[in-house]
């Protein structure tokens, strides 16, 4: 009898364990904060909860997140571009998590019409930059995060900072920085996905993501989260 109880407990634990999924993201202000708050984390929790999963979130530099998924030590990486090379080692869902609108942020005393006009180093985030649209001949200066990039702009240590413009806006808002001091110019747009391990489990989770995000759009949760975080460039119209 004791053996039966132990076996039942073990089976129950196994079932519960399979309902947990592990996702990793770079810390991004208002989107994927280290404390588990933010638009992306809330969307992912709601998306997977409606499919019967609980999300365990981890914060780490982007390249580490990517490596952990590629080595199948965790289930997925949050907010990643889809490329032919990455598709060899990651499983992408049919539906996107968000949209990246990349560009340059700079003090209003400076100006720019074309990317070719840039004659000084451009700040980019180390390991997770949105700068493949910047000509290779332009020098780049790596910074730790969006907040540091904005700080360097204010101190006039760099003239231009390349990043997702929404990330810049959210960081300025959080840190009480006057957006009116800066100008922005858009140069590139890409889709962002939550990508999973390249195996059967990753394929199941990718399908669960697409199913879940459509359900939270239908029940109004997605729109509530877009409004809560004031997400200007959302995927709310993807499912109309």
How many whole angstroms separate alpha carbon 50 and alpha carbon 31? 20
First to last CA, the chain: 55
Query: What's the whole-number mean pLDDT along residues 13-27?
Result: 74
Whether 69 has a pLDDT exceeding 60, the answer reads yes
Three state DSSP letters for the chain: CHHHHHHHHHHHHHHHHHCEEEEEECCECCCECCCCCCHHHHHHHHHHHCCCCEEEEEECCHHHHHHHHHCCCCCEEEEECCCCCHHHCEECCCCCCEEEEEEEEEECCCCCCCHHHCCCCEEEECCCCCCCCCCCCCCEEEECCHHHHHHHHHCCCCCEEEEEHHHHHHHHHHCCCCHHHEEEEEEEEEEEEEEEECCHHHHHHHHHHHHHHHHHHHCCHHHHHHHHHCCCCCCHHHHC
Candidate from 1-10, 59-68, 76-85, 128-137 with smallest mean pLDDT = 1-10
How many whole angstroms separate alpha carbon 161 and alpha carbon 123? 4
Query: What's the whole-number mean pLDDT along residues 228-236?
Result: 91
Whether 13 has a pLDDT exceeding 70, the answer reads no
Q: What is the pLDDT of residue 235?
A: 95
**What is the tens place of the pLDDT at every residue in 142-167?**
998 899 999 999 999 999 999 999 99
Q: What is the pLDDT of residue 120?
A: 87
Band (pLDDT 50/70/90 cuts) for residue 130 is low
How many whole angstroms separate alpha carbon 229 and alpha carbon 240? 21
Based on its alpha-carbon atoms, the radius of gyration of the chain, rounded to whole angstroms, reads: 20
Q: What is the pLDDT of residue 116?
A: 87
The CATH-assigned architecture of domain 99-189 is 3-Layer(aba) Sandwich (3.40)
Task: CATH 3.40.190.10 in the chain: give the residue spans.
Answer: 19-98+191-239, 99-189
Whether 109 has a pLDDT exceeding 60, the answer reads yes
Whether 15 has a pLDDT exceeding 90, the answer reads no
Band (pLDDT 50/70/90 cuts) for residue 128 is low
Domain 19-98+191-239 in CATH: superfamily? Periplasmic binding protein-like II (3.40.190.10)
Q: What is the pLDDT of residue 1?
A: 47
**pLDDT averaged over every residue in the chain:** 89
Whether 213 has a pLDDT exceeding 90, the answer reads yes
CA dihedral 148, 149, 153, 158 (to 10 degrees): 120
**What is the tens place of the pLDDT at every residue in 94-108?**
999 999 999 999 999
Q: Which two tokens stand for residue 76?
A: 């997925």
Q: What is the pLDDT of residue 172?
A: 94
């Amino acid at each position: 009898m004791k053996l039966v109880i132990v076996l039942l407990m073990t089976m129950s634990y196994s079932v519960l364990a399979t309902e947990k999924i592990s996702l990793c993201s770079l810390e991004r202000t208002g989107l994927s904060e280290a404390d588990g708050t933010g638009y992306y984390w809330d969307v992912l929790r709601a998306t997977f909860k409606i499919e019967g999963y609980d999300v365990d979130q981890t914060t780490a530099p982007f390249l580490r997140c990517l490596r952990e998924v590629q080595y199948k030590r965790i289930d997925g990486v949050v907010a990643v571009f889809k490329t032919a090379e990455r598709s060899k080692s990651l499983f992408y869902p049919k539906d996107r998590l968000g949209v990246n609108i990349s560009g340059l942020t700079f003090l209003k005393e400076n100006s720019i019409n074309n990317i070719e006009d840039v004659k000084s180093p451009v700040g980019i985030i180390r390991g997770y930059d949105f700068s493949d649209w910047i000509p290779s001949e332009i020098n780049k200066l790596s910074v730790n995060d969006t907040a540091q990039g904005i700080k360097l702009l204010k101190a006039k240590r760099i003239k231009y900072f390349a990043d997702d413009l929404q990330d810049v806006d959210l960081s300025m808002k959080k840190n009480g920085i006057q957006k009116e001091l800066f100008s922005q110019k858009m140069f590139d747009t890409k889709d962002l996905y939550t990508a999973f391990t390249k195996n059967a489990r990753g394929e199941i989770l990718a399908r669960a993501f697409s199913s879940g995000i459509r359900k939270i759009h239908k029940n109004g949760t997605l729109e509530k989260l877009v409004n809560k975080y004031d997400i200007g460039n959302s995927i709310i119209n993807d499912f109309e």
